[in-house]
């Protein structure tokens, strides 16, 4: 995994190589990152330095061709001729900003390297190796430690940096990135993930031109505005093909990534804590560690890079009892009753949810004293006496007795003015004396940079969790940070980062001793969907938007960086509360099942057919839960702008499910092709559509064309029929070898206006299908019988 030959280091995973060397002046020169090489040597890989570039500053007159500005490097300082963005900006002990770190020593360790304040990837000694390189500034007693951990099994290399001051005088860090990487000249595209509340993780792809492209957050969280994860890919890369580099950070606070292309075509990538309002003084013997960053490379397109990230997160980021465990199907109270409920309502709801097949009942916001609106109550987690007269313990007991697990919502990082906590400890809130603070969702942030506040939160939440049979927690965080001030801090430039360290500390103290508790973090939906959180919570609520068509973008975006096992996805009622879009129940499920499934609707109002459908959905999900949560996932491009497809394949390739989703339908559509990949070419599979029910009401007056009698499409009889009767859409079945199926399955005709029979797919707007693939045998290619095509 790591070899050292002369001045060169070769870090390799199962399919990738990362190669760099020490130059004669002690800098680290990047030579190659890409497909695995058997035994690399520098000669054909190095960027040649045989001519002097105009306007360049030469590092040392001993070599007229040695110019840092055009060298691909692993790290670079300031003030020695490299004018690209620097990974560090340090006010040095001598008061200048000039730094020049050069190689001192290295060591190769088995396993990972321990971090002191931040979460990081885990791995057994047999699974990974770490290269630790020590560098020193040429003048000051400042040491820079670069750590590279190589995870062969998932083609991921992690990187991080530690700065250590052994100088008598302090150094002030204004910027210290987790890594720097210079990629060789090529035409790259950058893929980033942007959004806002209820439109998280929308993918954006743009060519990397000359100049600086920044991916960052300044909200105090990793944020829904720009996720810290991104990709650089060769121009022609697609989901299936091409070279793709992926990057992400194990960090939940303000992040910064800068992607800079110079006129020479070199592309520099730096990533780490955002320098925005950041300043950290390192006294003598002080150390500062940056978050761990992760990098991957795949020459199998975006799906290849995503697959590496998925495996890496499932194996090396998620930890504790829920690692690699199937997650329960949950029912959440939020969208059905918000804060307006009574004990009886909850118990009836839980009974109905249980009857549908749900396994975990989650009591969302509104259960504690004063919490009838979002103006009050945060900070005081004592059960509301009117809503829960017998307390939380009693409710939990009753729900557990029904055969369900019980979980609660909390927002421990926040406080309302109207709360006992604020009345007794106004100093716990983040605000600046003398300056009027700004509120978000009518609440203030608690000062997690203050150890007293952390003790309070860790103690009170721990007591709460022990007060009832709670086996799940939804940890919410509903505002961006403003008025940043920590009363216990040495300098306010530490605020944001100390907050994140404080948050990790509190979460560790609460959940380390309660590993059975399934934690799902949330921040107004996906405002903090990052690898730092995934070190604590195996799953994250993806978005408050549960409209399945919107979720195709949101969950689809998340799937580039995060595994399906981490994505909370719920079926809610229709029309949707944020988009007013009416979608079939089947589509709501077909999208939510590509994640950790939940339901968030009022079961009281479900029709008999809807209940029947939901029971079948949950049964189907449970049967294929491992596949949906841990299968190999791919996104497929279809030839049409209004269709897309997702697919999961089991590790043993015995089964697979494809989802085929339509946004708005068009008249007289061309035939559809279901793209398929990842199954075994030599094996035979039976493919069949999961039957989907169609509401009678969706056909309106058209129903009279197929009924023996004429009925009023707005009348009572029609509504009654709709409650108790539904139609089934066309079911297709195919049996064929994997190699043939992977050419794409030509699906039955969609309804195109002139003709209908039971073999017509009634896709319409927002229609979708699940196709289940089951391996039935191993077929010898010489067995000439072709796969049949039976239309149901
Ligand atoms: C925001 C979350 O995303 C919702 O799911 C819900 O828990 C509310 N907060 C409750 O206030």
**What DSSP string describes 531-595?**
HHHHTT-SEEE-BS---HHHHHHHHHHHHHHS-GGGEEEEEE-SS-TTT-----HHHHHHHHTSS
Residue nearest to atom 1 of ligand 1 (CA): 524
C-alpha 475 to ligand 1 mean position (Å): 9
Q: What confidence category does residue 790 fall into, taking pLDDT thresholds of 50, 70 and 90?
A: very low
Q: What confidence category does residue 239 fall into, taking pLDDT thresholds of 50, 70 and 90?
A: very high
C-alpha 524 to ligand 1 mean position (Å): 6
**Tally of helices (H runs) and strands (E runs) in the chain:** 14, 41
In whole angstroms, give the CA distance from residue 787 to residue 789. Answer: 7
- Token pair, residue 77, equals 């300082």
Q: Region 169-173: what's the mean pLDDT?
A: 98
Name the E strands within 138-207: 142-151, 156-165, 171-183, 188-194, 202-207
In whole angstroms, give the CA distance from residue 320 to residue 508. Answer: 11
Q: What confidence category does residue 727 fall into, taking pLDDT thresholds of 50, 70 and 90?
A: confident
Would you give the DSSP letter of residue 765? T
Name the one residue in this structure whose structure tokens are 């505002």. Answer: 479
Q: Region 13-37: what's the mean pLDDT?
A: 98
What is the model's pLDDT at position 792? 26
C-alpha 715 to ligand 1 mean position (Å): 38
Is 702 a residue whose pLDDT tops 90?
no
In whole angstroms, give the CA distance from residue 32 to residue 198. Answer: 40
Share of the chain above pLDDT 70, in %: 98
Is 544 annotated in the active site? yes
SS3 assignment, position 368: strand
Cross-strand partners of 89: 175
Q: Which of 111-120, 128-137, 393-402, 775-784 has the lowest mean pLDDT?
A: 775-784
Residues in the chain: 792
Ligand 1 atom with minimal separation from the 541 CA: 3
What is the model's pLDDT at position 787? 35
Contact 112, 122 (CB under 8 A): yes
Nearest to 133 by CA among 153, 152, 113: 113
pLDDT tens digits, 351-383 = 999 999 999 999 999 999 999 999 999 999 999
Residue nearest to atom 11 of ligand 1 (CA): 365
Is 783 a residue whose pLDDT tops 80?
no
Mutate to test the pocket of ligand 1, among 334, 472, 520 (most ligand atoms within 8 A of CB): 334
Q: Region 744-757: what's the mean pLDDT?
A: 88
Name the one residue in this structure whose structure tokens are 């939510």. Answer: 592
pTM: 0.96
Would you give the DSSP letter of residue 463? H
Is 537 a residue whose pLDDT tops 70?
yes
In whole angstroms, give the CA distance from residue 594 to residue 565. Answer: 9
Q: What confidence category does residue 473 fall into, taking pLDDT thresholds of 50, 70 and 90?
A: very high
What is the model's pLDDT at position 788? 35
Q: Which of 531-545, 628-642, 685-699 has the lowest mean pLDDT?
A: 685-699
What is the model's pLDDT at position 778? 60
State the catalytic residue, choosing from 82, 182, 544, 632.
544
In whole angstroms, give the CA distance from residue 465 to residue 467. Answer: 5
What is the model's pLDDT at position 217? 98
Helix axes 391-401, 343-356, angle to 10 degrees: 20
CA-to-CA separations, 451 to 488, 491, 610, 753, in angstroms, rounded: 8, 16, 51, 68
- Token pair, residue 204, equals 């954006």
Is 374 annotated in the active site? no
State the catalytic residue, choosing from 82, 167, 182, 476.
476
Residue nearest to atom 10 of ligand 1 (CA): 365
> What lines the ligand 1 site, CB under 6 Å?
334, 364-365, 409, 476, 478, 522, 524-525, 541, 544
Residue 497: enclosing H or E segment and its boundaries? helix 495-511
C-alpha 177 to ligand 1 mean position (Å): 33
C-alpha 368 to ligand 1 mean position (Å): 15
Q: Average model confidence (pLDDT) for the chain? A: 95
Contact 225, 278 (CB under 8 A): no
Q: Region 656-682: what's the mean pLDDT?
A: 95
Cross-strand partners of 736: 685
Residue 105: enclosing H or E segment and its boundaries? strand 101-110
Cross-strand partners of 136: 102, 143
Q: What confidence category does residue 175 fall into, taking pLDDT thresholds of 50, 70 and 90?
A: very high
Residue nearest to atom 2 of ligand 1 (CA): 524
Residue nearest to atom 5 of ligand 1 (CA): 544
What is the model's pLDDT at position 55? 87
């Amino acid at each position: 995994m790591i070899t050292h030959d002369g001045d060169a280091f070769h870090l390799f995973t199962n399919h990738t190589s990362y190669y760099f060397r020490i130059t004669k002046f002690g800098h680290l020169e990047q030579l190659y990152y890409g497909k695995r090489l058997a035994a690399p040597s520098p000669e054909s890989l190095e960027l040649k330095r045989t001519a002097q570039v105009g306007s360049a500053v030469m590092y040392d007159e001993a070599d007229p061709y040695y110019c840092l500005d055009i060298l691909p490097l692993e790290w670079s300082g300031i003030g020695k001729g490299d004018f690209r963005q620097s990974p560090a900006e340090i006010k040095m002990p001598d008061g200048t900003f000039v730094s020049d770190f050069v190689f001192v020593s290295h060591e190769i360790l088995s396993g990972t390297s321990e971090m002191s304040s931040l979460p990081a990837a885990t791995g057994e000694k047999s699974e990974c190796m770490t290269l630790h390189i020590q560098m020193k500034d040429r003048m000051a007693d400042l040491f820079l430690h670069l750590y590279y951990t190589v995870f062969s099994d998932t083609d991921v290399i992690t990187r991080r940096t530690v700065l250590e001051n052994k100088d008598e005088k302090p150094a002030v860090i204004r910027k210290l990135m987790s890594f720097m990487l210079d990629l060789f000249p090529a035409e790259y595209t950058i893929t980033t993930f942007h959004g806002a509340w209820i439109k998280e993780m929308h993918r954006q792809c743009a060519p990397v031109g000359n100049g600086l492209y920044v991916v960052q957050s300044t909200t105090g969280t990793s944020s829904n505005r720009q996720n810290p994860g991104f990709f650089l890919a060769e121009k022609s890369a697609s989901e299936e093909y091409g070279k793709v580099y992926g990057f992400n950070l194990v960090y939940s606070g303000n992040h910064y990534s800068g992607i800079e292309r110079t006129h020479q075509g070199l592309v520099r990538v730096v990533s780490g804590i955002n320098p925005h309002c950041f300043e950290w003084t390192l006294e003598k013997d002080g150390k500062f560690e940056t978050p761990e960053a992760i990098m991957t490379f795949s020459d199998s397109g975006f799906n290849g890079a995503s697959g590496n990230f998925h495996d890496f997160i499932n194996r090396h980021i998620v930890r504790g009892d829920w690692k690699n465990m199937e997650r329960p199907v949950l029912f959440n109270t939020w969208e059905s009753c918000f804060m307006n409920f009574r004990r009886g309502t909850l118990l009836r709801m839980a009974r109905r949810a249980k009857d549908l097949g749900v396994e975990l009942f989650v009591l969302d916001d509104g259960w504690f004293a004063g919490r009838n609106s979002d103006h009050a109550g945060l900070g005081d987690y004592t059960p509301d006496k009117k809503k829960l007269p017998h307390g939380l313990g009693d409710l939990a007991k009753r729900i557990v007795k029904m055969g369900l697990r019980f979980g609660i919502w909390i927002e421990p990082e926040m406080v309302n003015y109207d709360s006992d906590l604020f009345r007794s400890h106004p100093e716990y809130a983040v605000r600046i004396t003398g300056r009027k603070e700004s509120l978000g969702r009518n609440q203030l942030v608690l000062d997690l940079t203050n150890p007293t506040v952390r003790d309070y939160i860790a103690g009170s939440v721990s007591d709460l969790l022990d007060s009832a049979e709670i086996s799940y927690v939804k940890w919410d965080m509903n505002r961006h940070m403003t008025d940043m001030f920590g009363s216990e801090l040495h300098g306010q430039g530490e605020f944001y980062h100390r907050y994140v360290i404080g948050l990790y500390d509190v979460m560790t103290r609460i959940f380390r001793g309660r590993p059975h508790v399934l934690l799902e973090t949330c921040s107004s939906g996906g405002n903090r969907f990052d690898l730092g959180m995934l070190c604590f919570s195996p799953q994250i609520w993806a978005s408050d938007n549960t409209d399945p068509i919107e979720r195709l973008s949101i969950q689809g975006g998340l799937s580039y960086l995060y595994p399906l096992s981490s994505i909370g996805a719920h079926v809610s009622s229709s029309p949707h509360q944020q988009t007013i879009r009416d979608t079939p129940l089947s589509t709501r499920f077909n999208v939510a099942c590509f994640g950790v499934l939940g339901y968030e609707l009022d079961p009281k109002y479900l029709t008999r057919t809807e209940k029947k459908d939901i029971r079948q959905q949950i049964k189907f999900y449970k049967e294929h839960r491992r596949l949906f949560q841990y299968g190999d996932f791919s996104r497929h491009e279809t030839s049409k702008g209004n269709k897309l497809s997702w697919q999961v394949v089991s590790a043993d390739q015995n089964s697979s499910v494809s989802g085929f989703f339509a946004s708005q339908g068009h008249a007289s559509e061309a035939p559809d092709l279901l793209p398929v990949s990842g199954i075994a070419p030599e094996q035979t599979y039976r493919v069949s559509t999961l039957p989907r029910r169609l509401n009678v009401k969706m056909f309106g007056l058209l129903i009279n064309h197929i009924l023996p009698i004429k009925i009023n499409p707005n009348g009572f009889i029609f509504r009654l029929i709709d409650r108790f009767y539904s139609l089934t859409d066309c079911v297709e079945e195919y049996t064929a070898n994997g190699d043939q199926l992977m050419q794409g399955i030509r699906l039955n005709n969609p309804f195109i206006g002139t003709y209908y029979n039971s073999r017509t797919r009634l896709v319409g707007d927002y229609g979708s299908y699940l196709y289940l693939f089951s391996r039935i045998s191993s077929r010898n290619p010489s067995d000439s019988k072709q796969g049949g095509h039976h239309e149901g």
